[in-house]
Amino acid sequence: MGDRYRKVLLLLIAPALLAQQAHTKRPYQAQSPSTFLYRVEDQDQVIEITNSAYEVVGSLPGRPPNEYLVLRKTTKTKQAIDEIGMEASTTVEAWPVGADFKQKPLYSTTVEGVDPTTVNNEVFLVSRGLEDTQWWSVFKLGTGERLFDTYVPLVQFSITRDVQNLRYAGLDVPGDDVSDQRLKAPNVVAVVTYASAERVIREALITCESAKQAIDLRSFADASRTVTYAGHSLRIAFSRNYPSAPSTVAITIPVVKDDLDLAHLTGPATIHATAWKR
C-alpha cells in the first residue's frame, strides 16, 4: 500500500476513532468537601467556612469551538462575629469535561474575595470588597487571566443590534495604597475601562483640574460612583453621599468604532479623560 493510500485511509479512520474515544471516556466522580468550623480565639467567636461548587461552561472566547470546561469554585472565609470585615480567598480551577480532576487544571486562579460568578460564558467576577467598599475583579473565563478591576457593578452591553457583540466596562478608583505612582497624582479621579471578553480595548484616566475636587470625587467615604451605557455612550457620574447634597458631576464618553471616543467627551470643562495604559 502506497503512502498516498495510507494517508487517505488514516483520514477516513481518524474521525471514527475520535468519536469512539469520546464515547468510551471512563466515568468519574469528584467531591470537594464544604466545612464549617467554630472556635473561640482571644475571646472572639471565630467562624471558618469552606464552600465548593461546580459549574460547566462552554463556547468560551479564546478556547476551541464546542469545548466545555468544568469549573471548581472554592471559597474560604474566616470571620470574627461582631467585627467588620473578614479574611477570604477564592480559587477557580478549570478542566476539560471528561478530564479527571487529578490531572493538572487548565488554569487555577486564586484571589482574595468571595462570590465567584460567571457572566455570559465569557468572564467571571470575584467580589473583592471584604470590608466597607465594594469592588470586583473581572477575569477571562477561558484562561483565568485578570482583565480589570471595577469599583462599580460590571457594566455589560452589546455594540451591535442584530447579533450580540458584548462589551464590558468598569471604573477603578485608586485608593491611598495604590502601587502605581502615576495614580497618586493629586488631580487623578479614576480609570474607566472598556473591554471585550478577551482583552482590554481602552483605558482612560479621568482627571480634574481642581485637586480638591478630585479628592472629593474619588473619596470612598464621601462619594458614590455609577457607570451606565445608553445611546452608544458611557455615562460616568460622581455624587456626594448623604447627608451632603448629591451635587452630581457626570461625564459622557461616546463609544465609536468599538472604542472610547475621548475627543468627544461631554461634561464639565474641568473634567478630562485621556488614553492611559497600565
Nine cell digits for residue 75: 471559597
CB count in 10 Å sphere of residue 69: 22
pLDDT at 6: 47
CB count in 10 Å sphere of residue 51: 16
Q: In what order do the strands lie in the sheet with 114-119?
A: 114-119, 123-127, 136-140, 146-150
Where would I find the H helices in the chain?
3-23, 211-218
pLDDT at 5: 44
Whether 10 shows a pLDDT value over 50: the answer reads: no
Percent of the chain at pLDDT > 90 equals 74
State mean pLDDT over 122-146. Answer: 94
Closest CA to 190 of 226, 155, 144: 226
* Lowest mean pLDDT across 2-6, 157-161, 184-188, 258-262: 2-6
* Mean pLDDT of the residues in the chain: 90
pLDDT band at 12 (very low <50, low <70, confident <90, very high): very low
State mean pLDDT over 54-76. Answer: 93
Q: Highest mean pLDDT: which of 7-16, 27-36, 95-104, 254-263?
A: 254-263
Break the chain into its structural domains and give their ranges. Answer: 28-114, 145-278
With beta carbons less than 8 A apart as the criterion, state whether 34 and 50 touch: yes
With beta carbons less than 8 A apart as the criterion, state whether 10 and 2 touch: no
Integer Cα distance of 49 and 35 in angstroms = 6
Residue with cell 483565568: 144
Residue 59 vs residue 136, higher pLDDT: 136
Whether 151 shows a pLDDT value over 60: the answer reads: yes
pLDDT at 25: 65
What are the angstrom distances between the C-alpha of 240 and each of 178, 207, 248? 22, 17, 7
With beta carbons less than 8 A apart as the criterion, state whether 184 and 215 touch: no
Is 0.85 surpassed by the pTM of this model?
Answer: yes
CB count in 10 Å sphere of residue 151: 23
